[in-house]
Amino acid sequence: MNCFKPALFALALAASNGAFGHAVVTHNSLKLNPVPLQQASEVALSFNSKVELDLSEVFLVSAGDKMQTITATPGEKPGQVLLHLPALEAGEYAIKLKIFAADGHLSEDLLRFFVKPAK
């Protein structure tokens, strides 16, 4: 049984190293700053690694699975990205990310959010 421990350790180490090659969202501003009704706005994302925006794609998904490309620009810090959203009506939306990490790994993510109607 003891002869398997080094092999299991090596396997676990190899598996964990693969996870670090992907750009994973570690923070998004949607949690603290909801998207305002009928106003263009920005969403800030932080990733666990540098990202290649020239190779990446970011979409706004609205009702009926309508997708439109949105602009993403580098933030002030490494791994930070700013998404520029158009003015939105009340409803449910998502941001679909296809992000390339600086080492070439592709990651995909979907961030759901709501724009609430005025009270």
43-72 confidence digits (pLDDT tens): 999 999 999 999 999 999 999 999 999 999
Q: Answer yes or no: pTM beyond 0.85.
A: no
- Are 51 and 79 contacting, i.e. CB atoms less than 8 angstroms apart? yes
**pLDDT value, residue 119:** 75
**pLDDT value, residue 10:** 40
Average pLDDT, the chain: 86
With CA atoms as reference, report the closest residue to 50 among 95, 107, 96.
Answer: 107
CA distance 40 to 18: 37
